[in-house]
Amino acid sequence: MRILGLTGGMGMGKSTVAAMLARAGLPVFDADATVRSLQAENGAALPAIARLVPSAVHNGHLDRAVLRQAVVTQPGVLRQLERIMHPMVWAARNRFLAHYRHIGTPWVVLDVPLLFEAGGNRLCDYVMVVSAPPWVQAARVAKRRNVPVAEARKLIARQMPDARKRLLADIVIETGVPFAQTQRQVRTLLRVLKA
């Protein structure tokens, strides 16, 4: 079994490309969906998050606004939160890989926003970065988060720069182009993988 890593900054269109790959029949491990599941009502991560930020968890529910505020205002909370979440996400990823390796799937996709930052790229045979021009990315993030473009740019600036991800990638999929062009890029990639 071979592993295709899929990553990209916020607002780059990674979820759209992941959906295309899934529709083409490739199993996709979605790290963001795994985090949401772990943090959902009575999720497995909530007891540890409650110990870290007690006011963020009430009756089995996570108050994301309180957690976000703690991350922004209290030094070290983000790192401690990552220490809680990363091992749980990695365990889910390892179960996903073991399952598809056991049934003999030729290719799987690891859709992980922090693939390079967390070292997950070392597991991958190829890494694909989804990328768009900075103005497109900022506009998408601003719209999705309902914040001004200047605020979106600040959020983006916290991430690994797109230029660095592009340099580290084996494949770059452009999404700041008409949708049909992105689809053609993905179809070309799928032909290469199947070959």
Residues flagged as binding site for ATP: 11-16
Residue entry with tokens 């797109």: 162
In order of 42, 47, 164, 166, the CA distances from 190 in angstroms are: 38, 41, 24, 19
Strand partners, 173: 130
How far is 132 from 102, CA to CA, in rounded Å? 36
**What burial letters (b/e) apply to 31-70, b meaning 16+ CB within 10 Å?**
beebbeebbeeebebbebbeebbeebbeeeebeeeebeeb
How buried is 121 (Cβ within 10 angstroms: 0-12 exposed, 13-18 middle, 19+ buried)? Answer: buried
Nearest to 40 by CA among 51, 29, 32: 32
Please report, in range form, the residues annotated as the binding site. 11-16
**Helix%, strand%, coil% for the chain, nearest 5:** 55, 15, 30
Helix (H, G, I), strand (E, B) or coil at 137: helix
